[in-house]
Amino acid sequence: MLTTAHSRQHHAFEKSPSSHMKNLDRKLQQAMNNATSKYMQRIYPLGIQRSSSSLTLSSLSLSQNSNDSSLSSSNSSWEPKVPLLYGGTFSPWGDVMVSLEMRREDDDKVSDHDVEGGEEDFDCSEPGSLHRCSWITKNSDEAYVQFHDECWGVPVYSDNRLFELLSLSGMLIDHNWTEILKRRDMYREVFADFDPSTVAKMDEDAIADISGNKELKLAECRVRCIVENAKCIQKVAKEFGSFSGYMWGHVNHRPVVGKYRHHKYIPFRTPKSEAVSKDLVRRGFRLVGPVIVYSFMQAAGMAIDHLVDCFRFPECVRLAERSWGITNVAA
């Protein structure tokens, strides 16, 4: 026989059988939001606030597995969403670097009234200064700003530089872009300027030396991923002629140009990055989840995601047009 207290508790449960599940859902959602916030702090500089209401756990997944999805995205011709990078012919460094942000799944473009209408504009430009993407703030590190101004959004075609960008993008699991950029020269030194043929030959002693270097802040498992990816790149190069040819083939050798007016509309991942991720995993690559792949695509210039009012947007589009002879950008 139930006691009075137990009876009341049992009666209350019978009246609202879903209350327990609702509490669990709220706790799960809160945990997901906290995880999203911590993850975004690695990608965006301080001062940027983004709504995470449309994010799901899967959209932040950095696992090696990707859901099957079509190679075609919602973007036309130059699929407006892919990575960017500064490279070779046009870059003063001749290198390629990092992507700036992980984006959300919403691939919709921003309309003019959305931009003018409501959300806070995060532009922190001084009067008379260059107008940059809104995630570049007064608190942004100089290395981060320089990368935005000189590298992000310029197509990269060198196998070494693409390997570098893929490796750096994978490091976003543990570090933010500013930290990665500041250690870029050290990474190049220990990984032989990201020459796949050299890195692929690294033995256990070399792996131990790199992971044991506290300045690099790379766990042994991360170093092994980079070495394994170098071996995979060699196989891909034999099949396709080059790693660059393989990667750019996924976007028909045309950068995807995203004409975004607000940073909240830039996705973390796209159907294209999911498809690329799936194929990379199939070929044995590691640390190539769809979110990391999209960051890589942005960093390598495969996707141009500067905001349309950023001074770099028209410059990067012109570089892409010059490179491929393209005259029309998808609306």
Binding site members for Zn(2+): 133, 148, 306, 310
Alpha-carbon distance of 243 to 163, in angstroms, equals 8
- Type of residue at 162: L
How far are the Cα atoms of 27, 105, 119 from residue 108, in angstroms, in the given order?
Answer: 29, 9, 16
Known binding-site positions: 133, 148, 306, 310
For residue 140, which phi and psi values (nearest 5 degrees)?
A: -65, 140
Helices and strands of the chain, counted as H and E runs: 14, 2
Alpha-carbon distance of 190 to 216, in angstroms, equals 9
Q: CA angle, 79 as apex, 317 and 82 as ends, to 5°?
A: 70
How far are the Cα atoms of 141, 234, 252 from residue 239, in angstroms, in the given order?
Answer: 41, 9, 17
Q: CA angle, 250 as apex, 249 and 252 as ends, to 5°?
A: 55
Asked if residue 236 lies in contact with residue 73, where contact means CB atoms within 8 angstroms, the answer is: no
203-210: list long-range contacts, CB under 8 Å, 24+ apart: none
Alpha-carbon distance of 173 to 295, in angstroms, equals 12
The CB-side HSE value for 71 (13 A sphere, CA atoms) comes to: 6
